[in-house]
Structure 1
Amino acid sequence: MDSLDDWPGSRLSDEELDVAYNVRRKAGPELFDRYMARYRAMSEAAVEGLPGHPGIVYDEASGERLDVWGTGEGLRPVFVFLHGGYWMALSRDVSSFMARMLYEQGVATVVPDYTLAPKASLEEIVRQVRATVAWVHRHGREHGLDPERIVVGGSSAGGHLTGMTMVGGWQEPLGLPADVVKAAMPFSGLFDIRPITRVYVNEAVRLDLARAAALSPALLPAPYRCPAVIAVAEDDGEGFLTQSRLFHPRWDAGDLMVVPGRDHFDVVLDLADPDSAVGRALVGLVRAV
């Protein structure tokens, strides 16, 4: 592990860090609101009339629920999508915009909620996300999901949570195989979250450097390295670009995809389009597992 105080941007001022990681401010309130409306509208359109099983409690301890979309005959490979929102916003209701595209490609989609910060600690959020993967592996067959073909992805904070399912050490205590996550596609992920200790988000997640390091995928062991596409937008926040560029060589089973003409919020919406670069990449990952 790097020294506790040596992290990406550690020599930047608090104002410079805010510029690097405050993508909502970068977009501005009007554009941000338009993006959030698109997330909801595209998600509602994607699941309208789609076969599935919404509202399943996957974790008895928290009572959190997930939606299963796009099931069909037999068992389908499954894409588990973890929403962003800096661990303190958004929900599964606005995060299923890729479900119809994947259904038409023979792939099911699972979208969980997790308890948001500050109500839940980041350790608890990570536990819930891993419980989602465990639920798919244990109960997927009952809902048309292939437990041997699980691909995990997510955007922003969801990219961080994706990384926390890619690393090792948590699978065995849950009775899962080390390779339960067969492939991964984090978007605009946070892989070394120590910078978060000095930006506005920390008012909700309340991390110190030691806890942030312990929750950073880039700093954790990964004996099994699943195939991955590490995606980030060309016009993303500089902090997110740096995070993906630093994580890529550490995850030597992954490809880096810098998506031109996209920003932090719209890059993941391309998953609704099978002809987009990220749509093709995701379908390729799923079909290879």
Structure 2
Amino acid sequence: MDSVAGQGAQMLYRGFTQAELQREYSPGSMVGGDISPYLAAYRALSTEARAGMQVAENLRYGSDPQHVLDYFPAPNPAAGLHVFIHGGYWQALSQRDSAAMAPALHEQGHAFATLNYTLAPDARLGQMLAECLQALCWLGRQAETLGFDPQRVTLSGHSAGAHLVAMVLADHGQALAASGLQVTEAVLISGVYDLEPIALMSVNDKLQLTDAEIDALSPCAAAPRPGFATALPWASATRPSSSARAATMPSICAAPAAMWGFSFSRGCIITISSCTPMSLPRPGERQHALRSNISCLRFAENMSG
């Protein structure tokens, strides 16, 4: 490893030292060190959405107590479905915290589902990926019962959730198709696309990533399957590692542009399919908006884990 002159520090990953990696990948480093107001806002908006909407909570997609999802039906049983996979560095949050986008999606005529999965240290990363795939396939098989069009499905994930969405789409397209689910678009928000730096930081204490897991489960080493559009937005006020993480993804797609579409955006402009620009707000604001196609998803900015 290279030493940083005059500091005695070692560059561990892409020119970052240990201390710099910890800062760059810390969700609180861009918001004064305290991320709790953001998390409280997420939970409050999710609680408000559940109180004002029809929702089927804790639907079981598997045998484990953590294998549950929440489903918000659309007014029209032939509506498309949007599925969100939450972040939290694979060791925090749940589907209970991740329903704030449901009202805007419902207003646009979409059904919405938010997934839960087992967190570290109770599950390894490969198990989490398998659970998310299991949940999506369960949704595909239950489409007629739940009331949505399985051929009109869009996915999004934030941070660790974006990682899980990327890996599902890269490696498991056949399983999704076999369940009847057709993914047309994906939005990967401030995702973790390379696991190598994660293994060098304290966030790995619970994950305990192995070299084999880093190689097999890093989206930057696995291009998504063709046939759908992918957007990779990150916050306007972000650290260099976040934009570097997003930049690794389009570079791995060697297939012709006609096979899939990437948009690559910093800040408030998200371009995917027929979307329009929306603003990413701060805690306390009610319009936490990001638009995928005609669907509004609600998120706050500046979280990276």
Question: Which TM bucket (shorter chain)?
Answer: 0.7 to 0.9
Shift of 1:52: 2.7
**Partner in structure 2 of residue 195 of structure 1:** 197
**Partner in structure 2 of residue 3 of structure 1:** none
Q: Is the 8 A contact 1:114 1:128 kept in 2?
A: yes
When residues 178 and 272 of structure 1 are mapped into structure 2, their CA distance, relative to the original with a 3 A threshold, is farther
Q: What does residue range 1-289 of structure 1 map to in structure 2 within 5 Å?
A: 9-30=13-34, 32-60=35-63, 63-168=66-171, 170-172=172-174, 176=178, 180-251=182-253, 253-260=261-268, 273=287, 276=289, 278-279=290-291, 281-283=292-294
SS in structure 2 opposite 1:147? coil
Whole-Å separation in 2 of the counterparts to 1:12 and 1:29: 20
Shift of 1:256: 1.1
Q: Deviations over 1:23-56 (max 9, x none)?
A: 22443454x1111110011111123231232110
Q: Is the 8 A contact 1:9 1:195 kept in 2?
A: yes
Q: Is the 8 A contact 2:184 2:227 kept in 1?
A: no
Shift of 1:179: 7.6
Amino acid at match of 1:9: Y
Shift of 1:108: 0.9
Shift of 1:20: 1.6
Q: Is the 8 A contact 2:141 2:179 kept in 1?
A: no
When residues 131 and 176 of structure 1 are mapped into structure 2, their CA distance, relative to the original with a 3 A threshold, is same
Q: Deviations over 1:182-237 (max 9, x none)?
A: 21001000112211110111101111233112101120144425201111102123
Q: What TM-score do the two structures reach when normalised by structure 2? A: 0.79
Shift of 1:250: 3.0
Q: Is the 8 A contact 2:137 2:179 kept in 1?
A: no
Amino acid at match of 2:294: V
Amino acid at match of 2:16: L
Bigger share in helix = 1
SS in structure 2 opposite 1:141? helix
When residues 268 and 219 of structure 1 are mapped into structure 2, their CA distance, relative to the original with a 3 A threshold, is farther
Whole-Å separation in 2 of the counterparts to 1:215 and 1:103: 33
Stretches of structure 1 that go unaligned for 5 or more consecutive residues are 1-7
When residues 56 and 268 of structure 1 are mapped into structure 2, their CA distance, relative to the original with a 3 A threshold, is farther
Whole-Å separation in 1 of the counterparts to 2:65 and 2:188: 25
Amino acid at match of 1:258: R
When residues 114 and 46 of structure 1 are mapped into structure 2, their CA distance, relative to the original with a 3 A threshold, is same
Q: Is the 8 A contact 1:50 1:70 kept in 2?
A: no
Q: What TM-score do the two structures reach when normalised by structure 1? A: 0.83
Q: Is the 8 A contact 2:99 2:114 kept in 1?
A: yes
Whole-Å separation in 1 of the counterparts to 2:248 and 2:224: 16
Stretches of structure 2 that go unaligned for 5 or more consecutive residues are 1-11, 270-279, 298-305
Q: Is the 8 A contact 2:87 2:159 kept in 1?
A: yes
Shift of 1:267: 6.2
Amino acid at match of 2:143: G
